[in-house]
Every structure is written in C-alpha cells, then in structure tokens.
Amino acid sequence: MTTFFPGPSRVYPQIATFMQEAFDKGILSISHRSETFNAMSEKTVGLLKNKLNIPDNYTIYYTSSATESWEIIAQSLTKNQSVHFFSGAFGEKWFDYAQKLRPNAIGNTFEINADHNIEEWNIAATAEIISITQNETSNGTQIRPQLIQQLREQHPEKLIAVDVTSSLAGISLPFEAADVWYGSVQKCFGMPAGLGLLICSPRAVARAKEIADRKHYNSLLILDDNIQKWQTSCTPNVLAIYLLMRVLETIPSIEETDKMIKARAKAYYEAVKESKTLMTLVENIAVRSDTIIAIKGSKEQVLEWKASAKNENILLGAGYGKWKETSFRIANFPALQQDEVQAMLVWLAKQ
C-alpha cells in the first residue's frame, strides 16, 4: 500500500537502513552534550544549508514540530502584535496560538480561490511581524514564493515569518526574502515525525535579542545559546537528527527536486482535468499548490474514490478541516517513488 497522506507521509525507503545504522553505531544512546552529537548536528545544519540553498548567515534551530515554532515566534519575536493572512486551517491555527500569547494579534482571511494581491493587504503600522502560510496543506493552495519577495519590498521594516511545513525540501524557496521559516520533517523530508526546523535571518535573531525573552525552555535566545555549540536546550530527537543527516546526504539539490515536484504536479493536475468525475478543490490555477493536490466531490463520491484507490494499493490522503469529508488530498512529496506516482496517475485518469 502506498500512502499519499500529506503528513505523516511516505518515508524514503532508505529510512529502514538508516535506522538500523543508527542503532548499530550506538547513536541512540549518545549524549546530546558529546562531541559526537555536536559533529553530527553541525554536519546536518551544513547539509541543510547546502542542499536547500539557505543563506550562510541564517541560523537553523532544532524544534520538536512546526506547532512549537508558532509559540516560539509569539513568545520570542513578537512584543505586542503579529498580523496573519490565511485561507485555511493551518494558517488559522497559527493565528489562534499567536492570539493566546499576544491578544493584539490580527487575523485576515481570504477565500481559497482569491488571488494573492499582496499590495492590497492591510498591514497595521503597529504590527511587528507578518505571518503567512506559504503552502496551506489543508486546502492545497500556495502563496507563490516570488510574492514573498514582493511582500519584503513593500514592508522592508517588518519581520516576515513563513510556515513552509509542507513545502520545505519540496520546492525552491527565497530564504533571503523573509526572516523566519519553519517546518517539520514528516512532510517533504520523507521522514517519520518528531523533529522540526526553525530557520532565522540575522534580523530575526537581532529582534529576539532586543525583546530578550528568556522565560521558556524554548525561548529563541536559549535555543540560540545552545546552537552556538550545535546543541539544543533539552534532549533532542537524536535519531531524527541522524536520519535527517543521512537523508540530506542522499537527496539531490533543491533545484533538481523543485523541477521534479513541479513536473509531477503538472501531470497530476492534467490527469484530474482529463478525468470524467474528479475536480480540483482549488479552481484558481495561480494559487494551486505544487506539493498538495486537493480534489473535491460529494461525501459519497469521496468514499467511493477512497475504496477504488485502495483496491489498487493506493491510500488517498483524507480531507482536512471543513473539507474533511468532501475532498481528498494527494501528497506530492519527493519520497514518493516514480512508479508510485505513475500508479496514481493511471488511477486518476480512470476516474
């Protein structure tokens, strides 16, 4: 059975070997204050920068999840107010978490088919940080990466924070254009869940120093003190860091992955268009995601599609939030193998 769930998702087949390797090498019992750990952590950060084209002067922190980053950004990078723009459940959850910690947070919603007219976004002068969900996993939309550059040019004085949980390591991202990027490894990294990454620009780190929050185990400054030694404030998921290092050693550069993912996305959308019964949840081509393909239908139809796919050993991803029962999703993540993608294309064309 091939899972097309968008997280947890299909893991790379080589994960089995890497896990055994970690056990055999004694990695599972090393101290997270040891030289062995420091070297592994440093190497992993270097590989992330190299494989994903993350600027050298950005700092990468280990977290437990993307959800943790929602809190870190509110605690350590927002004195009073963040402003959020979203069309789906993950952007909304981020706003909810931010609002609990910073009650003056402002939430702006837009329709899933709305064009992203960045120049029309109403951004309060008092807002310190602009928060966007680049790839909205719940409904299969994306804010095109080049628009983030435009957002930066229009609001050079604000920090920009971007949720890239379901696109990081899947498509090329313009890291220079924003200050905070975060995600977790159970999506485009093709790994089991349990590790998150938070990527900060020098400006973001400087802002954290200005705000000087040190009240939490995961205050950004405490993470920063530790990562100077390639360490973390608590005992991290050492196995996941090892797996991440090994995965990064074996995957191609992001330029190559980006091309593959976009070609596969194009093939998926064409297959849906050709099919007699399937319809994309997102009608506006300009805002469709490359890594999450969402397809809508009646509740009964969705059940039928799931059963028919299952017969061919294909596990369709469930819908999410308000589209839970009237849509299904296809994860277009790099760990899916070419023959599995082909089987999905064949199934789609038959519907």
Ligand X SMILES: *Cc1c(COP(=O)(O)O)cnc(C)c1O
Which residue in 140, 145, 196, 317 binds ligand X (CB under 6 A)?
Answer: 196
Query: Which is closer to ligand X, CB of 295 or CB of 331?
Result: 331
Could you tell me the two tokens for 254?
A: 């992001």
- CB-based contact 91:135 (threshold 8 Å): no
Q: Is 133 in the site for ligand X (CB under 6 A)?
A: yes
Count of other CB atoms within 10 angstroms of residue 252: 12
289 versus 351: smaller Cβ distance to ligand X: 289
Which one of 82, 131, 166, 257 is in contact with ligand X (CB under 6 A)?
Answer: 166
Q: Which residue stretch of 50-58, 158-166, 238-246, 305-313 sits at the interface with ligand X (rule: CB under 6 A)? A: 158-166
Decide: is 184 part of the binding site for ligand X (CB under 6 A).
yes
Distance, CA of 268 to CA of 260 (rounded, Å): 12
The site map against ligand X for 45-74 (x = CB under 6 A) is --------------------xxx-------
Asked if 7 touches ligand X (CB under 6 A), the answer is yes
Using CB under 6 A, pick the residue from 9, 137, 139, 351 that binds ligand X. 137
Q: Smaller CB distance to ligand X: residue 67 or 284?
A: 67
Choices 29-37, 147-155, 159-167, 230-238 (CB under 6 A): range interacting with ligand X: 159-167
Contacting residue, 165, 201, 232, 237, with ligand X by CB under 6 A: 165
- Tell me the two tokens of residue 282: 């997102």
**String of b and e for 279-316 (b: at least 16 CB within 10 Å)?**
ebbbeeeebbbbbbbbbbbeeebbeebeeebeeeebeb
Burial class (CB in 10 A: 0-12, 13-18, 19+), 208: buried
Q: What angle do CA 207, 220, 156 make, to 5 degrees?
A: 30
Give the nearest distance from C-beta 79 to ligand X in angstroms: 24
The C-alpha angle with vertex 168 and arms to 274 and 51, in degrees rounded to 5, equals 115
Looking at the Cβ atoms of 105 and 271, the one nearer to ligand X is: 105
If the CB atoms of residues 134 and 201 are measured against ligand X, the closer one turns out to be 134
Provide, rounded to whole angstroms, the least separation between the CB of residue 90 and ligand X: 4
We find the least distance from the C-beta atom of residue 350 to ligand X, in angstroms, to be 29
Number of residues that bind ligand X (CB under 6 A): 12
Candidate segments 34-42, 163-171, 208-216, 338-346, binder of ligand X by CB under 6 A: 163-171
Sign of CA dihedral 230, 181, 72, 335: negative
**In the complex with ligand X, which residue's Cβ is closer, 184 or 351?**
184
Amino acid occupying residue 181:
W
Query: What DSSP state is assigned to residue 288?
Result: B
How big is the chain, counted in residues? 351
Q: What does the per-residue mask of binding to ligand X show for 85-124, with x meaning CB under 6 A?
A: -----x----------------------------------
Q: How far is the CB of 26 from ligand X (least distance, A)?
A: 28
What's the closest the beta carbon of residue 287 comes to ligand X, in angstroms? 15
Q: Which of 233, 194, 235 is nearest to 30 (CA)?
A: 235
Report DSSP letters for 203-255, one per residue.
Answer: HHHHHHHHHT--SSTT-HHHHHHHHTTT--SS---HHHHHHHHHHHHHS--HH
Q: Using CB under 6 A as the criterion, which residues of the chain lie in contact with ligand X when the complex forms? A: 7, 65-67, 90, 133, 137, 163, 165-166, 184, 196
